[in-house]
Amino acid sequence: MKYNVSGLLLEGIGATREYELDSVLESPGHEPEQVKGQLEFLRTRAGVLVRAHLSLVEPECCSRCLKPLDELVEIGFEEEFQNVLDPRTGAPTPKDEIDRDAFLIDERHTLDLSEAVRQYREVSLLMKPLCRPDCKGLCPVCGADLNEVACGHNAEPADGRWAGLAALNAAGLTGKD
């Protein structure tokens, strides 16, 4: 996901480029993932503003029944990538002008989207993905998949300290509609 932006950097502020992205994101600890979407690059005073609207499929496990599932992840972001070199003179950009948390355009005028996409993917993932909204999960006693079989263990509280609450729930007194 690398783009040579030297031509864009030589143009005036406000110049744009648009791209269709169909690439593979490779990151440590993950299988390679196909990423697709639209990109817009906008020349700014400090570098290039990237507007991205991307999607990818993340392999996950259901947080209740542990079945594998594919989660469609939609990623949208705007990030400014800053120059480390002046594109006309080749002089290094003064350190005090570079935001230490910014993504950078390297000395060859290459803008690499991989780290930005990886970071935005991580914050876009569901905390508790589900195979379906009404997933019943696993029985806490025998481990059976409650979506497939009624083992009967769920009728009794797993811990005796919850028996009073279970009785209220059975009588319909918990306020749950």
Tell me the average pLDDT across 169-173: 72
Instruction: Answer whether residue 49 is part of any domain.
Output: yes
Whether 58 and 121 have beta carbons less than 8 Å apart is answered as: yes
Is the same domain home to 43 and 111? yes
Better-predicted residue by pLDDT, 160 or 106: 106
Give the domain extent around 111: 2-124
pTM of this prediction exceeds 0.85: no
pLDDT score at 62: 94
Whether 134 and 25 have beta carbons less than 8 Å apart is answered as: no
pLDDT score at 33: 87
Instruction: Answer whether residue 22 is part of any domain.
Output: yes
Whether 24 and 33 have beta carbons less than 8 Å apart is answered as: yes
98: which residues sit within 8 A by CB, 6+ positions away?
82, 84, 104
Is the same domain home to 112 and 157? no
Residue with tokens 């914050």: 123
pLDDT score at 154: 59
pLDDT score at 176: 53
Number of domains in the chain: 2
Is the same domain home to 99 and 164? no
Tell me the average pLDDT across 43-54: 94
Q: What percent of the chain has pLDDT over 90?
A: 51
Pick the closest to residue 105 from 77, 79, 85, 78 (CA basis): 85
- The tens digit of pLDDT for each residue in 87-138 reads 777 778 778 777 788 899 998 999 999 999 999 999 999 999 999 999 999 9
pLDDT score at 174: 59
Q: Name the domain boundary from 102, 124, 146.
A: 124
Tell me the average pLDDT across 21-46: 90
Dihedrals phi, psi of 41, to nearest 5 degrees? -110, 130
Instruction: Answer whether residue 16 is part of any domain.
Output: yes
Instruction: Answer whether residue 129 is part of any domain.
Output: no
Instruction: Answer whether residue 130 is part of any domain.
Output: no
Is the same domain home to 113 and 147? no
What is d(CA 101, CA 53) in angstroms, rounded to the nearest whole number? 22
Is the same domain home to 165 and 78? no
Instruction: Answer whether residue 147 is part of any domain.
Output: yes
- The tens digit of pLDDT for each residue in 33-45 reads 899 999 999 999 9
Instruction: Answer whether residue 131 is part of any domain.
Output: no
Is the same domain home to 160 and 89? no
Is the same domain home to 75 and 114? yes
Is the same domain home to 91 and 164? no
pLDDT score at 113: 94
